Amino acid sequence: MRCSASMVLLLCALGLAGCDCDGPTEPECVDDTGCSSGQLCRDGMCVDRADGGAIPDGGADLDAATCPASQVCRGATMCCGEGEECVDGFQCLPTCGTVRCGDNMMLCCDAAEICLDGVVCAASCEAGETLCGADFDLCCPGGDVCLDDACVTPGIECTDDFDCLDAALYCEPTIGRCLTTPSDVMCEVAPTFERVELREEWHWAGVEIGGSLWENVMNTPIVGDVSGDTIPDVIVPVYRGSSVGNPILVGLSGADGTLLFAIERSDPSSSAEIEGVAVADFDPSDAALEFVYRLDGGGIRMMDGDGVTEIALRLGVNARGTIEVADFNHDGVPDVVVGCRVFDGRDISDATRDIIAAGSCPSGGWEAPAIA
């Protein structure tokens, strides 16, 4: 029993030693405003700042009585300094007299700039101008386009690269104008297959005219969008049986192979030869291409893409062989080459407009001119 009594006395002594006879102590502070300058309130006690009293971000301790509302920052715990403003409620930055931009609104755009999509400062372009430049600091004047971060004046109108007449140019389809080919490396996609399996898209079985089936083809078809539906069509002379020298000229839809037109054999001013057809944009005013072909009786005939409307006719052209096209006089319209003669594509019927009038080639035989 004496042992137990000793333990009780020891516990009582310990209890007396830990007793606070004066009751709970009031906290020294509630927030930083209750502390002296250069101190912070931590766990109810004012402690010295670890940085020796300097206020971060250029701000000063908040004095609610003297701090202007525009300079109150960080949840009313900081007052921004003279010439500063509280940005995004978080940090004190030099006052911006224009517009702020970027992450946390840290950027101050120049007087002649705007905040583009809330991300970056950019030049303020006038109506009709185009924003350009690697740093969005250029305004291209009306009519110019932005290419490779520089303002460029577009060239002539075009529908494809061949219209641009220069290997250093390409046809930009969005504006229908020739532009300088970008200097960047062109994209290239490596094929992931080894074999190409051909699949029949459509088949044309011929057309019956005058009790005969015209179906045989000896020459390579000419391809071009003569219907204006953006799908290349097919034009080719076809003959019946073994009558190779008496063909008709047919146009077939590139979409499904249906017959678009057939130029039948009627008279020397319209009947086609077995060779000599070319497709080109002789009339830039419409979306469809036109075509020109050699006549069986000697001559050439230019037709609208519908295969019905004659544009121009030139008789007395007796050279045999293919027809080639190229813009020899640089007027934007392809010209027609037959043998050793070049006819102005704007009007092949007018002999005074001929570009090269050399007559028949010396060989007198079948001719296939090459243009370079």
Q: Where are the domains of the chain?
A: 29-94, 101-180, 207-367
Cβ contact 27:35 at 8 Å:
no
Q: How far apart are CA 303 and CA 104, in angstroms?
A: 66
Tokens for 133, please give them: 């430049």
pLDDT value of position 137: 93
Tokens for 304, please give them: 């609208």
Write the CB contacts of 307 (distance below 8 Å, at least 6 apart in sequence): 226, 249, 251, 260, 261, 262, 263
pLDDT digits (tens, 9 = 90+) for 262-316: 999 887 778 888 888 999 999 999 989 999 999 988 899 999 999 999 999 999 8
pLDDT band at 3 (very low <50, low <70, confident <90, very high): very low
Rg of the chain's alpha carbons, rounded to an integer? 43
pLDDT band at 245 (very low <50, low <70, confident <90, very high): confident
**pLDDT of 198 strictly over 70:** yes
Q: Report the chain's mean pLDDT, rounded to a whole number.
A: 83
Mean pLDDT computed over 205-214: 94
Task: For CA atoms 162, 167, 173, 175, give the dihedral sign.
Answer: negative
Mean pLDDT computed over 183-197: 78
**pLDDT of 51 strictly over 70:** no
pLDDT value of position 29: 73
Cβ contact 122:102 at 8 Å:
no
Tokens for 106, please give them: 């840290």
**pLDDT of 23 strictly over 60:** no
Q: State percent of the chain over pLDDT 70.
A: 81
In one-letter notation, the amino acid at residue 252 is L
Task: For CA atoms 66, 69, 70, 74, give the dihedral sign.
Answer: positive
Strands 320-321 and 366-367: parallel
Mean pLDDT computed over 333-339: 93
pLDDT value of position 144: 93
The whole model's pTM is what?
Answer: 0.51
pLDDT value of position 148: 85
96-101: long-range pairs with CB below 8 Å, 24+: none
pLDDT value of position 320: 74
pLDDT value of position 218: 86
Helix (H, G, I), strand (E, B) or coil at 45: strand
Concatenated DSSP letters of 17-40: HT--TT-PPPPS-SSGGGS-TTEE
**pLDDT of 81 strictly over 90:** no
pLDDT value of position 365: 58
**pLDDT of 19 strictly over 70:** no
Cβ contact 256:200 at 8 Å:
no
Tokens for 274, please give them: 């077995």
pLDDT value of position 366: 64
Instruction: Work out the number of other CB atoms within 10 angstroms of the CB of residue 324.
Output: 19
Q: Which helix (H) or strand (E) holds 130?
A: strand 130-132
57: left (phi over 0), alpha (psi -120 to 50) or beta: left
Concatenated DSSP letters of 51-110: TTTPPGGG-EE--TTTS-GGGEETTTTEE--TTEEEETTTEEEE--SS-EESGGG-EE--
**pLDDT of 78 strictly over 70:** yes
pLDDT digits (tens, 9 = 90+) for 164-179: 988 889 999 989 999 9
pLDDT value of position 89: 82
pLDDT digits (tens, 9 = 90+) for 84-128: 888 888 788 899 999 999 888 889 999 999 999 989 999 999 999
Tokens for 267, please give them: 């008279």
